[in-house]
Amino acid sequence: MNFNQLDNLVPLDLISKIFELMEQHSFPKNHLLHEKGTVCKHIYLIHKGLARTFFYKHGKDITVHLASEGEVITAVDSIISLKKSRYNVELLEDSEVLSISYKTLQDLLSQYPEYEKYVRLVLERMYTEGADRIEEFLFYSAKERYENLIRTRPQLIQRVNLGHIASYLGMTQETLSRIRKMP
């Protein structure tokens, strides 16, 4: 989810309170914000740079989410359930990120319960984006998925290596290369 989309969902005073509680970090390319097999305790906002969420299956590296400037990333399977995650969150570029612990966010919501509905709206938006992504895999061809990525997030093609793009789109790198050569 793009943090800039929150303007029409979340009141500015809540956004300001969250920003006051966030910590700023600079990390190098390939740094893991979260490592599989551990409980994720933070939500990250990419200020500058690029990150991905991925897991391994049968020795293959599968990218499931990409986040660039203004977007949020975390190990969503772990952050709420407090269970060990199967995902890694890796920086693909030298990056500046803002982080807030889930506990700090929960403490803020305990202090201001009227804000809980806005967090629910954000979670609903994230769920809808996830459902849209599932729909893409079920109903669209590999070429259509690639064209959608070009239409909605063209900057990623220049910044993310083709292997990660291919796995994000659910295809081999060879298939992606063939699609890119098509007129």
pTM of the prediction?
Answer: 0.89
Task: Indicate whether 172 belongs to any domain.
Answer: no
Task: Indicate whether 89 belongs to any domain.
Answer: yes
Query: How large is the angle between the packed helices 173-181 and 142-152, nearest 10 degrees?
Result: 70
Averaged pLDDT score across all residues of the chain: 91
H-run or E-run covering 150: helix 142-152
Task: Indicate whether 105 belongs to any domain.
Answer: yes
Overall number of domains in the chain? 1
Question: Which of 43, 35, 39, 32 shows the shortest CA–CA distance to 90?
Answer: 32
Is 81's pLDDT higher than 80? Answer: yes
CATH of the domain at 51: 2.60.120.10
Is 70's pLDDT higher than 70? Answer: yes
For residue range 117-127, what is the model confidence (pLDDT) as tens digits?
888 887 788 78
Task: Indicate whether 88 belongs to any domain.
Answer: yes
Beta bridge partners of residue 73, listed in sequence order: 44
pLDDT for the residue numbered 6? 57
Task: Indicate whether 29 belongs to any domain.
Answer: yes
Dist. CA 20–CA 64, nearest whole Å: 30
Report residue 4's pLDDT band, with 50, 70 and 90 as the boundaries.
low
Q: Mean pLDDT lowest for which of 1-5, 24-28, 162-166?
A: 1-5
Please identify which residue in the block is written with the tokens 């895999």: 137
Question: Which of 12, 50, 16, 13 shows the shortest CA–CA distance to 156?
Answer: 50
Task: Indicate whether 90 belongs to any domain.
Answer: yes
Task: Indicate whether 92 belongs to any domain.
Answer: yes
Task: Indicate whether 27 belongs to any domain.
Answer: yes
- Per the structure, the complete domain to which residue 40 belongs is given by 3-113
Q: Do residues 88 and 64 make contact, with C-beta atoms less than 8 angstroms apart? A: no
What is the CA 79 to chain-centroid distance, rounded? 13
